Amino acid sequence: MTAKLILVRHGETEGNVAKILDTKLPGLPLTERGAAQAKSFGEGLAAAPRALFHSHALRARQTAGYIEAATGVRAIPRDGVHEVQLGELDGLSSTQAHEQFQTVYRHWHEGRLDERVPGGESGRDVLERFLPAVAALRTEYLEDGGNGDVLVVTHGAAMRLVGRELGGVAPPFTTNNHLDNTETIELLPLPGGGWECVRWGRFTPPFGGKAEFGADDPMG
């Protein structure tokens, strides 16, 4: 198999700029810069994807729309691939709120998946809704020998947790290397049902040697 599943973080949003924990649907829109990022991403693809999906969040739909315009591939909403839901922390921008989530988020990557912030999802909750969506896309598009990658426009915290789970990439790399807007995690399906992570943002394997702290903006 050579076609990949590519998880794409959406473009910059008003919430990213203001450092708001924006998780409830539909969420805040792209900024002008975010729109430019999405347009540039779509135009920069070496080849059009075989299929293009996005979460139900406004920012993901808008990002996918620019990719659709650039590639001609119809953007389709997909259940289960939205951002981590943060309950009582949603809408907050304080240092305390960010630190509270980041503490729980690091614990997820260390295997403590049942922890959660008040009113929010656990790491297990996130994986239990996101991984079936990935499995279905693999069956539908990546196991029939067809050409072309499958793109899913999704969200920073959720896709990092999925990349850690499926690609076997371990902390502290996964917790310290957040993804900038329109950066990707690229997963290559392997015979037997496994996955290999072949890109994490600007990094390619091996991932363990470069753990540069950058968790100031894990969300979106």
pLDDT of residue 217 exceeding 80: no
| Per-residue pLDDT at 215 | 46
Sign of CA dihedral 211, 212, 213, 214: negative
| Per-residue pLDDT at 216 | 47
pLDDT of residue 113 exceeding 80: yes
Q: In the chain, where are the structural domains located? A: 5-84+125-200
Nearby residues of 135 by Cβ (< 8 Å), 6 or more positions away: none
Contact 104, 219 (CB under 8 A): no
Q: What are residue 197's phi and psi, to 5 degrees? A: -80, 120
Which pLDDT band holds residue 214 (cuts at 50, 70, 90)? low
| Per-residue pLDDT at 211 | 55
Tell if the pTM clears 0.75, that is, is over it. Answer: yes
Residue whose structure tokens are 């059009």: 48
* Closest by CA position to 120, among listed 148, 142, 88: 88
Distance in angstroms (rounded) separating the CA atoms of residues 187 and 162: 10
Mean pLDDT (the chain) is: 93
| Per-residue pLDDT at 209 | 58
Catalytic residue ranges: 10, 83
Q: What kind of fold does domain 5-84+125-200 have according to CATH?
A: Rossmann fold (3.40.50)
| Per-residue pLDDT at 26 | 96
| Per-residue pLDDT at 144 | 83
pLDDT of residue 185 exceeding 90: yes
Q: What is the mean pLDDT of residues 108-119?
A: 97
Classified as helix, coil or strand, 152 is strand
